[in-house]
Amino acid sequence: MSIKSSSYTKKVKNELVQMENEKFCCRWAELAAIIHLRGYIILQRKVPVLTIIMDSNSVARYVFKLLKELAVTYPKILHRQSENTLHDYFIIKIEEEVVLKEIFQRLEIKNEHNWVNMPGVSEKLVNNNCCRRSYLRGSFLAGGSINSPESAYHLEILAEYETYAQIIVDLLQGFEIKASLRRRENGYYVYLKSAEGIMEFLRVIKAYPALLYMEEKRVIKSLKNHTNRLVNCDTANLDKISKAAHQQLNSIETIEQLSGLSKLPLTLQTAAKTRRKYPEASLKELAELNQPPLSKSGMNYRLKRINQIAYQLKNKT
Ligand SMILES: [Zn+2]
What domains sit in the chain, N to C, each tagged with a CATH number?
7-206 (3.10.28.10), 243-316 (no CATH)
Confidence class for position 5, pLDDT limits 50, 70, 90: low
pLDDT at 287: 93
What pLDDT is attached to residue 120?
Answer: 65
Q: Read off the pLDDT of residues 52-92 as tens digits, 9 standing for 90 and up.
A: 999 888 999 999 999 998 888 888 888 888 887 778 889 99
pLDDT over 50 at 210, yes or no: yes
Q: Ligand 1 center to residue 77 CA distance, Å?
A: 27
pLDDT at 26: 92
> What is the rounded average pLDDT of the residues 226-231?
73
CA of 130 to the centre of ligand 1 (A): 4
Q: Tell me the CA–centroid distance for residue 152 and ligand 1, in Å.
A: 33
Output the pLDDT for position 110.
63
Q: How many angstroms separate the alpha carbon of residue 91 from the centre of ligand 1?
A: 27
Cα-to-centroid distance, 168 and ligand 1 (Å): 16
Question: What's this model's pTM, rounded to 2 decimal places?
Answer: 0.69
Ligand 1: centre distance to CA 119 (Å): 21
CA–CA gap between residue 81 and residue 261 (Å, rounded): 84
Ligand 1 centroid – CA 96 distance (Å): 26
Determine the distance from the C-alpha atom of residue 33 to the mean position of all C-alpha atoms in its chain, rounded to a whole number.
24
Give residue 317's pLDDT.
Answer: 62
Rounded distance from Cα 21 to ligand 1 centre (Å): 8
Please give the mean pLDDT across all residues of the chain.
87
Residue 263, pLDDT above cutoff 70: yes
**Which residues, 6+ apart, have CB-to-CB distance to 44 below 8 Å?**
95
Q: How far is the CA of 24 from the centre of ligand 1 (A)?
A: 7
- Across residues 208-234, what is the average pLDDT? 81
Q: What pLDDT is stored for residue 2 in this prediction? A: 41
- Output the CA 26–ligand 1 centroid distance in Å: 4
**What is the 30 CA–ligand 1 centroid distance (Å)?**
9
What secondary structure does DSSP assign to the chain, as a single string? --PPPPHHHHHHHHHHHHS---SHHHHHHHHHHHHHHHEEEEEETTEEEEEEEES-HHHHHHHHHHHHHHH----EEEEEE-TTT--EEEEEEE--HHHHHHHHHHHT---TT-TTS-----GGGG-SHHHHHHHHHHHHHHHEEE--TTS---EEEEESSHHHHHHHHHHHHHTT---EEEEETTEEEEEE-SHHHHHHHHHHTT-HHHHHHHHHHHHHHHHHHHHHHHHHHHHHHHHHHHHHHHHHHHHHHHHHHHT-GGGS-HHHHHHHHHHHH-TT--HHHHHHHSSS---HHHHHHHHHHHHHHHHHHHHH-
pLDDT band, very low/low/confident/very high, at 281 (cuts 50, 70, 90): confident
* Ligand 1 centroid to residue 110 C-alpha, Å: 23
The confidence score (pLDDT) of residue 233 equals: 67
Q: How far apart are the C-alpha atoms of 275 and 289, rounded to whole Å?
A: 9
pLDDT at 12 over 50: yes
Please state the rounded mean pLDDT for residues 188-198: 94
**pLDDT (0 to 100) of residue 1:** 40
Greater pLDDT, 19 or 115:
19
pLDDT digits (tens, 9 = 90+) for 114-147: 444 456 677 778 889 999 999 999 999 999 999 9
Distance 54 CA to ligand 1 centre (A): 23
Q: Read off the pLDDT of each residue in 94-111 and give the average, rounded to a whole number.
A: 82
Q: What separation in Å is there between the alpha carbon of 83 and the centre of ligand 1?
A: 40
Which pLDDT score, from 0 to 100, does residue 60 have? Answer: 93
Query: What confidence score (pLDDT) does residue 114 get?
Result: 47
User: In the sheet that 47-54 helps form, which strands lie side by side, from edge to edge?
Assistant: 39-44, 47-54, 88-94, 76-81
